[in-house]
Amino acid sequence: MMDNFENVNSRRTRPAKPPLGLDIIIRTAYKLLSENGMSGMSMRKVAKSLDTGPASLYVYVENYQKLSAYVLDYGLRDVKLVEDDTVYWKDAIINVLKSYFKVLAETPGLAELALTTSPNGTNSMDINECLLKYLQAGGISTRSAAWGIDILLLYVSSLSFERVLRNKKDDDLDDLVALYNTVDVSKYPMISKLKSELFSGDGGERFSWGIEVILQGLLSMQNN
């Protein structure tokens, strides 16, 4: 029954070629992304990985950008949502965002994708729904909640993107540190003074700090 595609007395010489379809294309693209980062995922590589030509993909995916949006959403499937209604709203939000951060930071390329692509699928909708629920539970107004999830997710995405850069060889950041270290004290008094703070924060500390800033800011908008 599983050997539909082989003749009766088959002795496989290579794995059965799976039939093409949107799902398998997304999963294959995600696998390439998570193994080799952003540059590991391309239409051609996905096609090759599925043992076909690049043109075949266009039956199921309009273009590379659309595929990226699907892959991003697929990558977000592991984000753990909080379902417990008795959890304090702030803790719930922090837990969801921590999981979001972890997923982005663990999968090479996913953070970069999150910064430049709008995810297309139900996983991102589940995350939005969950965050909206707890923001409203915290007494944050409709509009603040709607716009607030964007800031929260943006902030966390960029933190994890930075983290990913830091973990690579990262010539760019070295350049930036060098630039800031050779700075003219009289021309840039503030930067000189705060030099260490500008690149400080072990990630965890800065993560919590930023979420707190945004949530406090949202709360303060209640009366506007």
Q: Note the residues at the interface with DNA (CB under 7 A).
A: 19-20, 42-45, 52-56, 58-60, 63-65
Phi-psi region of 54 (alpha: psi -120 to 50; beta: other; left: phi over 0): alpha
Is 209 a binder of a second copy (CB under 8 A)?
yes
**What span, in angstroms and rounded, lies between the C-alpha atoms of 26 and 142?**
34
Cβ neighbours of residue 139 under 8 Å, at least 6 residues apart? 219, 222
Nearer to a second copy, 52 or 220 (CB): 220
What Cα–Cα distance (Å) separates residue 196 from each residue in 177, 180, 193, 204?
10, 10, 8, 17
Is 66 a binder of a second copy (CB under 8 A)?
yes
Is 143 a binder of a second copy (CB under 8 A)?
yes
Interacting span for a second copy (CB under 8 A) from 9-17, 22-30, 43-51, 64-72: 64-72
Count, residues near a second copy per rule CB under 8 A? 61
Q: Are 89 and 64 in contact (CB under 8 A)?
A: no
**What span, in angstroms and rounded, lies between the C-alpha atoms of 46 and 57?**
8
Residues that bind a second copy (CB under 8 A): 62, 65-66, 69, 112, 115-118, 120, 125, 128-129, 132-133, 136, 142-148, 150-151, 154-155, 158, 161, 171-173, 175-176, 179-180, 183, 187-191, 193-194, 197-198, 200-201, 206, 209-210, 212-218, 220-221, 224
